[in-house]
Amino acid sequence: MKNQLEMDIKVPNQTRYLGLIGKIGEDIAYTLKNYNNDRDELAYHINLVLTEAMANTIKHANSNDPCKDVHITINVSDENLCIKVYDQGQGFDISTTGTALPEPTDDHGRGIFLINTLMDSVTYKNCGNGNVLEMKKRLN
């Protein structure tokens, strides 16, 4: 395996684990060998997309059921970051949840906008007993 990080994580479907998963994302940014841009910014962005994707899964796809799991895989090479978040529910339509920024005074709807803004490609599709949200970002 050449400079390749592969992580496979399962946590209960509960928001109390958001900080833990976000921290793992931040730490990944600081372990990259050949990243020449702002590392603090990258760390925040990975933390944020993991937090947004997981919170969305907990609330919407997994219907806040604390007995379900959220399954996350993170693959990092020198060139690319790929995060997959698996849910066990009905899913949601990423095209209708909006890639546009909501009205300034809306309370909701910024999560998917942030993921789309900070990542280079985002897909959401059916997969076995649930769905997978795949988010990719070039690192150089």
Partner 1 sequence: MIVSIEEHGAVVTLSLQEERLDAHNSNELKSQLLNLFEEGKNKIIIDLADVRFIDSSGLGALVSGFKNASSRDGSLKLCSLQTQVKSMFELTRLHRVFEIFPNPEEALASF
Q: Which residues bind partner 1 (CB under 8 A)?
A: 15-16, 18-19, 22, 40-41, 44, 47-48, 51-52, 55, 58-59, 101, 104-111, 113-114, 117
Q: Which is nearer to partner 1, 59 or 136 (CB)?
A: 59
Q: β-pairing, 121-127 with 80-87?
A: unpaired
Q: Which is nearer to partner 1, 93 or 107 (CB)?
A: 107
Q: Which is nearer to partner 1, 77 or 97 (CB)?
A: 97
* DSSP 3-state of 81: strand
Q: Which is nearer to partner 1, 22 or 91 (CB)?
A: 22
Q: Which is nearer to partner 1, 50 or 81 (CB)?
A: 50
Question: Smallest gap, in angstroms, from Cβ of residue 139 to partner 1?
Answer: 19
Question: Smallest gap, in angstroms, from Cβ of residue 83 to partner 1?
Answer: 15
Question: Smallest gap, in angstroms, from Cβ of residue 109 to partner 1?
Answer: 8
Q: What are phi and psi of 91, to 5 degrees?
A: 80, -175
Token look-up 């060139």 returns: 79
Question: Smallest gap, in angstroms, from Cβ of residue 111 to partner 1?
Answer: 4
Task: State whether the Cα torsion 3-1-19-105 is positive or negative.
Answer: positive
Helix 18-31 vs helix 39-56: angle between axes, to the nearest 10 degrees? Answer: 150
Cβ atoms of 98 and 111 closer than 8 Å: no
Q: Smallest Cα–Cα separation from 59: which of 91, 83, 85, 84?
A: 91
Question: Smallest gap, in angstroms, from Cβ of residue 60 to partner 1?
Answer: 11
